[in-house]
């Protein structure tokens, strides 16, 4: 067994705390500061026979590593562990990883054959040209605006669950206020197809995830369950205040879908001119296929 540790030196916790373990010879370390350096590190890990990866960073670090695994490790996906060192650690929270879980503890656990494991498929976002990005939370429309608000919350000193709570509160205020024909409430025209003909209309928000438990107990997709799940909200959002309860608790009142709040399962295609966000980072829109990726094993 060989372990590779990818430590993001730019992650929130790692900028303040940089101790290194005294590791056995079968543990390799990398502290890549650029995307190119990350690719080089993963390539060297694969060539060295690494079959276990500890990802020391936030959700963005996980996204960047998973996106590069096909080009560096090929079809051989290593066993994974995540230490929550970023400003947002939604994946780690879903897996039940303690906020203070250290690299030392993760290395010890991932080398233990009897350590408990959990499986989560990632999301594959593929463009028309075949380029791939992998993550766990996809969103567009109001989700892009909310991500920018989250960055403001970080500047205010709110991180993790506190950041999610503050961002959600600010997003609700922005979504209720204002006119239907401009700003948040106007939404964005996009084409969405789920196994059939694409339908173009203004949508306030589209969000999808393969995670099972979201921060604050939010259940926008309904009951907690595995697999790729999505929520689409038409623009302008109707009965938004009334819908907050069902979207938080995961209930399914009969009026919810009629009001334009549609929950879905499985893969879909989406085309949009605006941006989309994958695990906290915004990318240009286009014609995209959003699907469940390979099942990944995480030591917890």
CATH number of 21's domain: 3.40.50.10330
Q: Is 67 inside a domain boundary? A: yes
Q: Based on the domain organization, do 90 and 210 belong to the same domain?
A: no
pLDDT in tens, the chain (300 residues): 899 999 988 876 776 655 555 667 789 999 999 999 999 999 999 999 999 999 999 999 999 999 999 999 999 999 999 999 988 899 999 999 999 899 999 999 999 999 999 999 999 999 999 999 999 999 999 999 988 887 776 666 656 666 777 677 778 878 888 788 888 999 999 999 988 788 899 999 999 999 999 998 999 999 999 999 999 999 999 999 999 999 999 999 999 999 999 999 999 999 999 999 999 999 999 999 999 999 999 999
The predicted pLDDT at position 226 comes to 96
Determine, yes or no, domain membership for 127.
Answer: no
Based on the fold, state whether residues 92 and 142 are members of the same structural domain.
no
Is there a single domain that holds both residue 145 and residue 188? yes
Whether 211 and 272 map to the same domain: the answer is yes
Within this chain, do residues 195 and 235 fall inside the same structural domain, yes or no? Answer: yes
pLDDT at 274: 95
Residues 110 and 142 reside in one and the same domain? no
pLDDT of the residue at 124: 98
- The whole-angstrom separation of Cα 218 and Cα 235 is 21
Indicate whether 151 and 209 sit together in one domain: yes
Residue 121 lies in a domain: no
Total structural domains within the chain: 2
Whether residue 74 sits in one domain with residue 36: yes
Domain that holds residue 95: 3-115
132 located within any domain = no
Position 107 in a domain = yes
Q: 280 and 196, same structural domain?
A: yes
Is residue 187 a contact partner of residue 234, using CB atoms and an 8 Å limit? yes
Q: Are residues 34 and 150 in the same domain?
A: no
In a domain, 299, yes or no: no
148-157 as b/e: b if 16+ CB within 10 A: ebbeebbeee
Residues 106 and 142 in one domain: no
Q: Is residue 259 in a domain?
A: yes
Q: Are residues 175 and 226 in the same domain?
A: yes
């Amino acid at each position: 067994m060989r372990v590779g540790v990818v430590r993001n030196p730019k992650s929130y916790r790692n900028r303040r705390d940089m101790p290194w373990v005294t590791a056995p010879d079968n543990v390799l370390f990398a502290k890549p500061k650029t995307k190119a350096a990350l690719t080089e590190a993963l390539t060297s890990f694969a060539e060295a026979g690494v079959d276990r990866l500890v990802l020391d960073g936030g959700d963005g670090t996980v996204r960047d590593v998973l996106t590069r695994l096909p080009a560096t490790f090929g079809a051989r996906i290593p066993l994974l562990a995540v230490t929550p060192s970023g400003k947002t650690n939604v994946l780690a929270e879903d897996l039940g990883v303690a906020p203070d879980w250290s690299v030392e503890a993760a290395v010890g656990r991932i080398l233990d054959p009897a350590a408990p494991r959990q499986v989560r498929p990632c999301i594959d976002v593929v463009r028309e040209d075949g380029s791939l990005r992998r993550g766990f939370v996809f969103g567009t429309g109001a989700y892009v605006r909310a991500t920018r608000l989250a960055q403001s919350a970080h500047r205010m000193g709110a991180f993790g669950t506190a950041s999610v709570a503050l961002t959600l509160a600010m997003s609700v205020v922005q979504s209720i206020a204002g006119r239907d024909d401009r700003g948040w409430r106007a939404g964005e025209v996009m084409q969405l197809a789920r196994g059939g003909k694409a339908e173009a209309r203004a949508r306030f928000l589209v969000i999808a995830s393969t995670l099972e438990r979201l921060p604050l107990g939010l259940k926008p997709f309904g009951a907690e369950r595995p697999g790729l799940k999505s929520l689409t909200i038409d623009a302008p959002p109707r009965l938004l205040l009334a819908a907050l309860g069902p979207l938080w608790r995961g209930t399914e009142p009969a009026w919810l879908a009629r009001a334009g709040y549609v929950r879905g399962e499985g893969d879909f295609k989406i085309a949009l001119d605006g941006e989309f966000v994958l695990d906290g980072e915004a990318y240009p829109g286009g014609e995209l296929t959003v699907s469940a990726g390979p099942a990944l094993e995480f030591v917890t």
